């Protein structure tokens, strides 16, 4: 026993000698009110905006509103153990998230904490969730295409690296599917993909991640998930955290694609937090800075100049409309911020036209500069022909027998519409899209029954690999369609159309 006492005394003495004595400053406040994920804190006059605050129970939050007497703190953890009167400590640090290659292939929450079963994430790099957008002098022109593998997008509304293209439509019209398909198409490209789920149902997020794991290259993807049951603070920081994770690759000279699903729910979360922290409400009870929170977020997507490494960050934000009302507050805000929008129509969706893209309301304000030249040449006047067909189709519903020229336009337009249909999670290669456009514009499909075209689309990739094996390689390497290759592809397309037409005649397909 004496021996143990001596050992304890020696250990205590050694610890005391190592201890740093003297005064220590501690930023300490107290909780005045708590509820619905928001705490009003007093006594922290030196706190900065977005500074991390730590509660005595170990929970954390960030300072969102700085009033002279009270700090509006948004909690990032459960609030069941936080009560009025509890101590709150300022940390002096702003909200940061881990970044780097260690996040690839992982499902994380907006603070970088793992949500999968792959163990902890070890990262030595942390960056603030709020970063300044690149200045004009640091940006370059958006000229490089992003091949989404979706025919209607690549041919009519080409997407460029560094662009911000809004996907907007009613509930359950295929917005998430369209974005996930664009991510799946990057399986063999040099783009890193980041999927951010804000306020989505767990089942919807699970389906999206399963599709990426099954069809895409999830080893080059990051999934940031803030579900509908998570704290409002986590949902609020999710888009900014995902953008910071994607910016790491952009700043390294690489290319990244971020999908934010969706900003309508993020705006609703912002409104909830603003009302709870007693900010003045404006239109539809949103606070006055609801435009700014999304503008400063999406401005971070850009194509950097060569002096900055030449990297790019492409953004596909998603917004939900109510009964197709594009003039609602949040959709109009986002449309004015982004470089174009892809509008999904509920009526087209229920008619079976998937993706249900409304070609009249959709637009890419970057234009054809980002479209692959060979695809632009193959598509030709596709958009104009399709728009004219849609108008003629409406008029012919009133009856009457159209003349031969109008009948030819209707026949061609019906084939265009059928070729723009596409099964989910099955993106096309550039060579497949070019061949499909050649088949439409050269009249190969005019002579075959409309009901055979789905079989034509399904058989096209395998036929090209078998009959014209050099075509796909030529598209990837040179991006040019030489006259000799053009003739070979056209011959193969005619052969495929004839074989399918003969089979349909035997089976009686109309």
- Express each pLDDT in 137-183 by its tens digit: 999 999 999 999 999 999 999 999 999 999 999 999 999 999 999 99
Query: Whose CA is closest to 390, among 421, 364, 416, 420?
Result: 416
The residue ranges of every structural domain in the chain are 28-94, 98-371, 376-507
| Residue 29, beta-bridge partner list | 88
Token pair 């050099």 is found at 470
Which CATH superfamily groups domain 376-507?
Answer: ATP synthase alpha/beta chain, C-terminal domain (1.20.150.20)
Relative to beta strand 145-146, strand 159-160 is antiparallel
Q: Which CATH number fits domain 98-371: 3.30.70.890, 3.30.210.10, 3.40.50.1480, 3.40.50.300?
A: 3.40.50.300
What number of H helices and E strands is found in the chain? 16, 18
Backbone φ, ψ for residue 28 (5° rounding):
-130, 135
Which of these is catalytic: 139, 365, 412, 421? 365
CATH topology of domain 28-94: Elongation Factor Tu (Ef-tu); domain 3 (2.40.30)
Is 365 annotated in the active site?
yes
Backbone φ, ψ for residue 310 (5° rounding):
75, 10
Do domains 28-94 and 98-371 share one topology? The answer is no
d(CA 93, CA 314): 29
Contact (Cβ atoms closer than 8 angstroms) between residue 142 and residue 318? no
Contact (Cβ atoms closer than 8 angstroms) between residue 71 and residue 40? yes
Tell me the whole-structure pTM to 2 decimals. Answer: 0.90
pLDDT in tens, the chain (510 residues): 445 567 767 777 777 677 666 665 677 899 999 988 899 999 888 899 889 999 988 889 999 999 888 999 999 987 678 888 899 999 889 999 999 999 999 999 999 999 998 999 988 899 999 999 999 999 999 999 999 999 999 999 999 999 999 999 999 999 999 999 999 999 989 999 999 999 999 999 999 999 999 999 999 999 999 999 899 999 999 999 999 999 999 999 999 999 999 999 999 999 999 999 888 999 999 999 999 999 999 999 999 999 999 999 999 999 999 999 999 999 999 999 999 999 999 999 999 999 999 998 999 988 778 888 899 998 888 988 898 898 888 877 776 667 778 888 888 899 999 999 999 999 999 999 999 999 999 889 988 888 899 999 999 999 999 998 888 888 877 778 888 888 999 999 999 998 887 765 444 445
């Amino acid at each position: 026993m004496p021996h143990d006492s001596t050992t304890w005394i020696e250990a205590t003495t050694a610890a005391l000698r190592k201890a740093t004595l003297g005064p220590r400053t501690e930023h300490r406040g107290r909780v005045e009110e708590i509820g619905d994920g928001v705490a009003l804190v007093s006594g922290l006059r030196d706190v900065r905006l977005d500074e991390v605050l730590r509660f005595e129970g170990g929970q954390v939050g960030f300072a969102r509103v700085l009033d002279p007497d009270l700090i509006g703190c948004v909690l990032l953890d459960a609030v069941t153990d936080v009560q009025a009167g509890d101590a709150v400590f300022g940390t002096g640090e702003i909200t940061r998230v881990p970044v780097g290659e260690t996040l690839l292939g992982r499902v994380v929450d907006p603070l970088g904490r793992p949500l999968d079963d792959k163990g902890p994430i070890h990262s030595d790099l942390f960056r603030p969730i709020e970063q300044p957008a690149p200045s004009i002098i640091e940006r370059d022109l958006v000229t490089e295409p992003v091949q989404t593998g979706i025919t209607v997008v690549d041919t009519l509304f080409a997407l460029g690296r560094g662009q911000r293209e809004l996907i907007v439509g009613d509930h359950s019209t295929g917005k998430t599917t369209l974005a996930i398909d664009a991510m799946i198409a990057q399986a063999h490209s040099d783009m890193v993909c980041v999927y951010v789920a804000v306020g989505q149902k767990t089942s919807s997020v699970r389906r999206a991640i399963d599709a990426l794991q099954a069809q895409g290259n999830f080893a080059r993807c990051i999934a940031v998930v803030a579900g509908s049951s998570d704290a409002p603070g986590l949902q609020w920081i999710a888009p900014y955290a995902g953008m910071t994770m994607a910016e790491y690759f952009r700043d390294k000279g690489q290319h990244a694609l971020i999908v934010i699903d969706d900003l309508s729910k993020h705006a609703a979360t912002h409104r909830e937090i603003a009302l709870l922290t007693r900010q003045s409400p404006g239109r539809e009870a949103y606070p006055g800075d609801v435009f700014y929170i999304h503008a400063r977020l999406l401005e971070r997507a850009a194509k950097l100049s060569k002096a900055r490494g030449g990297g790019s960050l492409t953004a596909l934000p998603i917004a939900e409309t109510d009964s197709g009302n594009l003039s609602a507050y949040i959709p109009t805000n986002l449309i004015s911020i982004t470089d174009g929008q892809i509008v999904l129509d509920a009526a087209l969706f229920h008619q079976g036209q998937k993706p249900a893209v409304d070609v009249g309301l959709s637009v890419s304000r970057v234009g054809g500069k980002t479209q692959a030249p060979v695809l632009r040449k193959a598509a030709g006047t596709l958009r104009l022909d399709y728009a004219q067909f849609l108008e003629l189709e409406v008029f012919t519903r009133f009856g009457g027998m159209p003349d031969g020229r109008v009948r030819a336009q209707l026949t061609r337009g019906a084939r265009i519409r059928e070729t723009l249909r596409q099964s989910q999670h099955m993106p096309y290669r550039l060579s497949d899209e070019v061949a499909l456009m050649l088949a439409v514009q050269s009249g190969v499909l005019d002579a075959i029954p409309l009901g055979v075209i789905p079989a034509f689309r399904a058989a096209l990739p395998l036929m090209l690999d078998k009959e014209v094996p050099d075509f796909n390689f030529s598209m990837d390497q040179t991006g040019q369609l030489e006259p000799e290759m053009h003739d070979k592809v056209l011959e193969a397309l005619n052969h495929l159309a004839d074989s399918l037409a003969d089979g349909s005649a035997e089976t009686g397909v109309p």
